[in-house]
């Protein structure tokens, strides 16, 4: 199982020094990847609850650097770790312009990009981005088709409901073929079907490992029905981790609790066959600085190594 860690690209500690420091330390520690996430604004009067935990939007979302620019910054200071985003809200973007940005990052990093997509949960962010909330799923489906057309064909031509690409040459192509791996965060039936049909893998968060395993089996079944090889779909789990001194009860969220409890969650993630586990310390109330994030990163790597070494081969 590969291991990843989120860069401090959101929150009051976000900045060039902290991002560079965490990126370099992640590579030194042996992490396989570093990741960013996407937030556009912090609505003061939200009309939709945050879809994880207690429904309150985390305060750290008040400060957010661009996810792709942050990855490009780290790409120039690292040589090995993959560079992932979990996730871009695809309905906000023109896919032709997005294809150029993602291709540039893949080329400049020599093929290290992993890209996650979602459709977003905040009506306020969609409004600010000029995205129609009511067609976000259909717009995302078409944007994926445009991205893949640009990445895999030449000349490129596309005529859809939302996007038009006249017959053109668009280069260069990504280093990775046929394109950088696409992972999707999805939970509703239509979105899960999108994973099964369009993605290289599923990127869930906030679901216990046992529940993830059950849902992923369903996604693979849908992929097989769509004529795809279900074994080619990867499971990329995101762990929003919080470390406590006292053990939490049975109702605790996964990856929240004492180091021993978090280690048990890592072992459970290994057991269900996840391909990658990405730790995010951003939401831990005890994290107040880049120093704290580095300490969490070192702790999570130690716990993961212990779990992996004790797991059956």
- Strand 256-257 and strand 276-280: the pairing is unpaired
As a whole number of angstroms, the distance between CA 233 and CA 139 comes to: 23
Q: 2-310 — its CATH code?
A: 3.20.20.30
pLDDT at residue 312, rounded to an integer: 65
Q: Is 160 exposed, middle or buried (0-12, 13-18, 19+ CB in 10 A)?
A: middle
- Strand 164-168 and strand 156-159: the pairing is antiparallel
As a whole number of angstroms, the distance between CA 280 and CA 240 comes to: 5
Per-residue tens of pLDDT for the chain, all 313 residues = 999 999 999 999 999 999 999 999 999 999 999 999 999 999 999 999 998 878 899 999 999 999 999 999 999 999 999 999 999 999 999 999 999 999 999 999 999 999 999 999 999 999 999 999 999 999 999 999 999 999 999 999 999 999 999 999 999 999 999 999 999 999 999 999 999 999 999 999 999 999 999 999 999 999 999 999 999 999 999 999 999 999 999 899 999 999 999 999 999 999 999 999 999 999 999 999 999 999 999 999 999 999 888 766 5
Q: Helix, strand or coil for residue 257?
A: strand
Residue 206's nearest CA partner among 226, 191, 186, 221 is 186
Q: Is 63 exposed, middle or buried (0-12, 13-18, 19+ CB in 10 A)?
A: middle
Q: CB of 104 within 8 A of CB of 174?
A: no
Residue 242's nearest CA partner among 279, 203, 267 is 279
As a whole number of angstroms, the distance between CA 291 and CA 297 comes to: 10
Q: CB of 116 within 8 A of CB of 65?
A: no
Q: Angle, nearest 10°, between helix axes 259-271 and 209-225? A: 20
CA separation, residue 298 to residues 25, 154, 291, 293 (Å) = 9, 45, 11, 9
As a whole number of angstroms, the distance between CA 100 and CA 217 comes to: 34
Task: Say what the alpha-carbon torsion angle 208, 48, 119, 66 is, to the nearest 10 degrees.
Answer: -90
As a whole number of angstroms, the distance between CA 52 and CA 293 comes to: 21
pLDDT at residue 311, rounded to an integer: 67
Q: Is 273 exposed, middle or buried (0-12, 13-18, 19+ CB in 10 A)?
A: exposed
Question: Nearest 5°: phi and psi at 176?
Answer: -80, 140
Q: Is 190 exposed, middle or buried (0-12, 13-18, 19+ CB in 10 A)?
A: exposed
As a whole number of angstroms, the distance between CA 240 and CA 69 comes to: 22
CB atoms within 10 A of CB 127: 14
Q: Which two tokens stand for residue 76?
A: 């120039």
As a whole number of angstroms, the distance between CA 96 and CA 282 comes to: 31
């Amino acid at each position: 199982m590969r291991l990843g860690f989120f860069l401090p690209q959101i929150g009051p500690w976000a900045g060039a020094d902290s991002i560079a420091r965490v990126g370099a330390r992640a590579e030194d520690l042996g992490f396989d990847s570093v990741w960013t996430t996407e937030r556009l604004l912090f609505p003061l009067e939200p009309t939709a609850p945050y879809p994880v935990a207690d429904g309150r939007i985390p305060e750290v979302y008040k400060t957010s650097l661009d996810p792709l620019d942050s990855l490009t910054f780290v790409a120039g200071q690292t040589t090995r770790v993959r560079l992932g985003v979990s996730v871009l809200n695809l309905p906000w973007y023109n896919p032709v312009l997005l294809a150029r940005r993602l291709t540039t990052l893949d080329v400049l990093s020599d093929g290290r990009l992993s890209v996650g997509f979602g459709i977003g949960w905040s009506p306020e962010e969609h409004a600010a981005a000029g995205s129609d909330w009511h067609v976000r799923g259909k717009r995302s489906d078409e944007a994926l088709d445009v991205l893949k057309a640009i990445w895999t064909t030449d000349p490129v031509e596309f005529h859809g409901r939302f996007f038009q690409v006249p017959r053109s040459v668009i280069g260069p192509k990504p280093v990775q073929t046929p394109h950088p791996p696409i992972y999707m965060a999805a939970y509703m039936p239509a979105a899960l079907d999108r994973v099964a049909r369009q993605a290289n893998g599923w990127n869930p968060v906030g679901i216990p490992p046992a529940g993830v395993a059950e849902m992923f089996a369903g996604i693979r079944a849908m992929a097989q029905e769509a004529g795809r090889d279900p074994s080619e779909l990867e499971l990329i789990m995101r762990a929003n981790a919080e470390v406590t001194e006292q053990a939490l009860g049975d109702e605790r969220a996964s990856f929240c609790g004492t180091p021993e409890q978090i280690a048990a969650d890592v072992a459970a993630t290994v057991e269900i066959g996840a391909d990658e586990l990405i730790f995010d310390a951003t939401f831990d109330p005890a994290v107040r600085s880049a120093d704290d994030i580095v300490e969490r990163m070192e702790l999570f790597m130690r716990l993961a190594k212990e779990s992996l070494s004790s797991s059956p081969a």
